[in-house]
Amino acid sequence: MVTQERGADTASAILDVAERLVQQRGFNGFSYADVARELGITKAALHYHFPGKAELGERLVRRYGERFAEALRAIDDGPATAADRLAAYCEVYRRVLLEGRMCLCGMLAADYDTLAEPMRAAVVGFFEQNEAWVAGLLEGGRTDGSLVVTTPALDAARTVIAALEGAMLVARPFETAAVFDAVVGRLLADFVPGAA
């Protein structure tokens, strides 16, 4: 029992370090040696938990997607208006940026051509999950009149996600959230009546 728990703790620690490294450097910008060095374990111990970097990456995306889905459920359970939920969604990205990181799947999308097929599918699945959630939010806001959505909800959702991912990338070299905040302010003004 203790061995299983220790193994689970090690696997979780590996995922934590690898996630941070991907969010800061990209998938091709870190190695097993980087993770092993940071955790003070051998590369063999890494391979025990994740036989290859592709398996590690696929598990990273699944775990990140699960946590993101939890954040979306919390938003659904939180603010009452669609406008407030849209702002809360934007805040999820902002918090990641303030930690000196980028969206994990945004970083993986930049490395997409070099990823193994299961990782590619997981990245696409992450974005599809988010598109569907944002589209539902926007459609609900259009229906109840709390949001102005002038295009099909899925197209608008892709615009929202692309704007947030792009805002993170552009804000990163400036080392400030001000650029990101300006994009989010404009984005919300486009969807929320009277927000301009």
| pLDDT, tens only, 132-187 | 999 999 999 999 999 999 999 999 999 999 999 999 999 999 989 999 999 999 99
What is the total residue count of the chain?
Answer: 196
pLDDT of amino acid 79: 72
**Is the pTM of the predicted complex or chain greater than 0.85?**
yes
pLDDT of amino acid 78: 87
pLDDT of amino acid 2: 33
Name the CATH code of domain 54-191 (choices 3.40.50.300, 2.40.50.140, 1.10.357.10, 1.20.140.10). 1.10.357.10
Average pLDDT of the segment spanning 91-101:
96
